[in-house]
Amino acid sequence: MKKRFLFLLLLPSFLTAQAAFPQNVSTSLSRSESYVGETVYLSFSLQTEEKPVLKPLRAVLGLKIEYQGENVSTQVTTTIVNGRRQTRTVYQYRFTYAVTGEKPGVYIIPQTTVSVGDREMSTSPAKLTVKEIERNEKYRLILRVENGERVYVGESVDLTVELEISSEIGTPEIEIPFLNGTELSPVKNYTETDAGNIKINDGYFPVKREEAVRSRAVFSARLRFAAQTPGVYSFDEARASFRAVTSVRESVDIFGRTVADKQYESVVIPAESGQLEILALPQPQPANFSGIVGVPRLSAEADLTEAFVGDPITYRLTVEGVENVPSDLPPLNRIDSFESHFRIPEHHSPAMNENGKTVFVYTIRPLSADVDEIPAYPCVVFNPESESYETVTASALPLKVNPSPALVEEQIEEFSFDSAEREKVSMEKIENLLPANPSASALLKKESRFPYRPLFWIVYAVSFVIALIPIAAAVILCLRKRRSPTLASRKRELLQRFESLLRRNDGKKLESFLNLLNEYDDVKAVCPVCSIIEDEVERALFSGSAGEFDAGVAFARLKEGLR
């Protein structure tokens, strides 16, 4: 009888020790049939307790196979057998490839191997049928460029995408394989209607339902993108895929209502023929070319029309009428007419978009009272209509500059003498730019007498270090508190928990003692008494003599042994 009881206790442990994983790898293909240009996904799945290594797939002529990476999920199982806790971690690995058919045909994707430790497992080969995309009389996909069939690099291109259908279909997905780096955006004021959105490439765009044409419904979306790379793009490389209703069978449900049972088929159609030619800008380009393609409208404004020498003036340059305005438009300090009369910082605020207009903001300071205007801003652009480079200007602004009655120290430091000298100028050069008045002269003498500026930075650095010391001490103290518990703290914790269990009056006290001792392997390694008490608890638990075990004596021995 005792042997049978022992066998029943050891049976879960025996079953757990057996291999619970399949001896092969599961191979799955998301679809067994696809059209040219469509992508299906090939996956290899397995369960293991070790990290597997997948041997890469061999290339297949006519297929484009790209590795997408691995996905890992974890399952942790904890069991208690004979009073001992056992934890097992199982990993579910999935390796995925994207397979795209480039030519029609029937392809066999060869098998590969997955290594787990010293064991190798083979995958199963997969069969994929790639069909040619054919035109369908019920559906048409039309791509039309509003700018014409020839555009220049940097131009904004408006593209109209139309889908004509004469039967019920599901939500279509349209793929337009543009050149790398092309980003699509919806044309402004082309708002969503009751027709909803349509998926084009990786985004969703509002679509309008046009008037029916010969019993056909026409859905259209308007997109905009920037031409970036010279080349010729053929529209017949685009395609639309969707599910279409082939037949409808009506039936009556148990409530007497008519139910339509629809049968679907997968449809992929190519776009109508056509092309878009993207031309490179003519060479040579002017040295001061702004990068704008189109004919923009430039305007300028300033917050002051009268100022003193050195006063800050906010100058706003607005560009409208074109898109794709470069953020590094030639700044004012590269224009001689500005640089010779104004002090302009090397860096300015980034371009801002205000209601479709691009605005650049600068802070300029007049250098002398001889300035009578803020000069015109010239901008060299490329005009695609005339196919030539042209100069567009923002008009000059009137400005009256008065001699400064008294310059403050901050203004004196910011003056530049000329465009050739970027460093701060000496006091003698500034004296030549200032009017002769007592206050300005006194300020200059005070500036020349002040030799202790380095002392300020030394005091500042010392103060910073002194303020940093308590912060560093607090961080170190916090890290010390968060360290892992020491062996002494583990001993105290074991005694406290053992004593609290000692006060309980229930029938599972011995099981609780055993589970508690199993959690403190680090303490048992340095304290033999813990292991002896654990063995005594096990014998008392499984021999049926639980009443003979004196927990109070065991606690006293444990307390003595942990000193």
**pLDDT greater than 60 at residue 7:** no
Looking at 82-91, 100-109, 302-311, which range is the least confident one?
A: 82-91
The per-residue pLDDT for range 16-52, each reduced to its tens digit, is 444 445 567 889 898 888 888 778 899 988 888 788 8
* Strand 150-152, strand 275-279: pairing: parallel
- Asked if residue 182 lies in contact with residue 250, where contact means CB atoms within 8 angstroms, the answer is no
Q: How far is CA 129 from CA 59, 100, 111, 267, 509, in A?
A: 16, 11, 17, 15, 66
Of 123, 82, 130, 128, the closest CA to residue 104 belongs to: 130
Residue bearing the bigger pLDDT, 157 or 511: 157
As given in the structure block, the two tokens for residue 523 are: 């303490």
**pLDDT greater than 80 at residue 372:** yes
Mean pLDDT to the nearest integer, 266-290: 84
Going by CATH, does the domain composed of 289-446 fall within 3.40.50? no
Task: Round to whole Å and give the CA distance between 350 and 562.
Answer: 69
Percent of the chain at pLDDT above 70? 81
**pLDDT greater than 50 at residue 13:** no
Distance of CA 101 to the CA centre of its chain: 29
Position 88 scores a pLDDT of 76
**pLDDT greater than 90 at residue 96:** yes
Position 442 scores a pLDDT of 55
- Ramachandran sector of residue 265 (left: φ over 0; alpha: ψ -120 to 50; beta: rest): beta
Task: Round to whole Å and give the CA distance between 335 and 325.
Answer: 19
The per-residue pLDDT for range 447-491, each reduced to its tens digit, is 444 455 667 778 888 888 888 888 888 888 777 665 556 777 777
Of 120, 88, 94, the closest CA to residue 19 belongs to: 88
Of 264, 353, 341, the closest CA to residue 309 belongs to: 341
Task: Round to whole Å and give the CA distance between 303 and 463.
Answer: 41
Domains 21-131 and 289-446 alike in fold: yes
Position 52 scores a pLDDT of 86
**pLDDT greater than 70 at residue 240:** yes
Position 532 scores a pLDDT of 81
The per-residue pLDDT for range 537-562, each reduced to its tens digit, is 777 777 666 666 777 777 777 777 77
> What residue segments make up the domains of the chain, in order of their start?
21-131, 139-279, 289-446, 487-561
Give the list of residues 6+ apart from residue 305 with CB closer than 8 angstroms, or none.
397, 398, 399, 400
**pLDDT greater than 50 at residue 191:** yes
**Direct distance between the N- and C-terminal alpha carbons of the chain, in angstroms, rounded to an integer:** 43
Q: How many helices (H) and strands (E) does the chain have?
A: 11, 35
Burial-class residue 87 by CB neighbours within 10 Å (0-12, 13-18, 19+): exposed
Position 274 scores a pLDDT of 75
Residue bearing the bigger pLDDT, 74 or 83: 74
- Asked if residue 221 lies in contact with residue 175, where contact means CB atoms within 8 angstroms, the answer is no
Q: How many CB atoms lie within 10 A of CB 140?
A: 20
- Ramachandran sector of residue 309 (left: φ over 0; alpha: ψ -120 to 50; beta: rest): beta
- Asked if residue 298 lies in contact with residue 358, where contact means CB atoms within 8 angstroms, the answer is no
Verify cis geometry, omega within 30 degrees of 0, for the bond prior to 470: no
Identify the architecture of domain 21-131 in CATH. Answer: Sandwich (2.60)
As given in the structure block, the two tokens for residue 7 are: 């066998």
- The torsion angles phi and psi of 290, rounded to 5 degrees, stand at -80, -15
Average pLDDT, the chain: 77
- Asked if residue 559 lies in contact with residue 495, where contact means CB atoms within 8 angstroms, the answer is yes
Q: 243 falls in which pLDDT band (50, 70, 90)?
A: confident
Give the list of residues 6+ apart from residue 533 with CB closer than 8 angstroms, or none.
517, 554, 557, 558
Position 107 scores a pLDDT of 92
Task: Round to whole Å and give the CA distance between 335 and 288.
Answer: 10
Q: Return the SS3 of 93.
A: strand
Q: How far is CA 454 from CA 334, 446, 458, 459, 461, in A?
A: 33, 17, 6, 9, 11
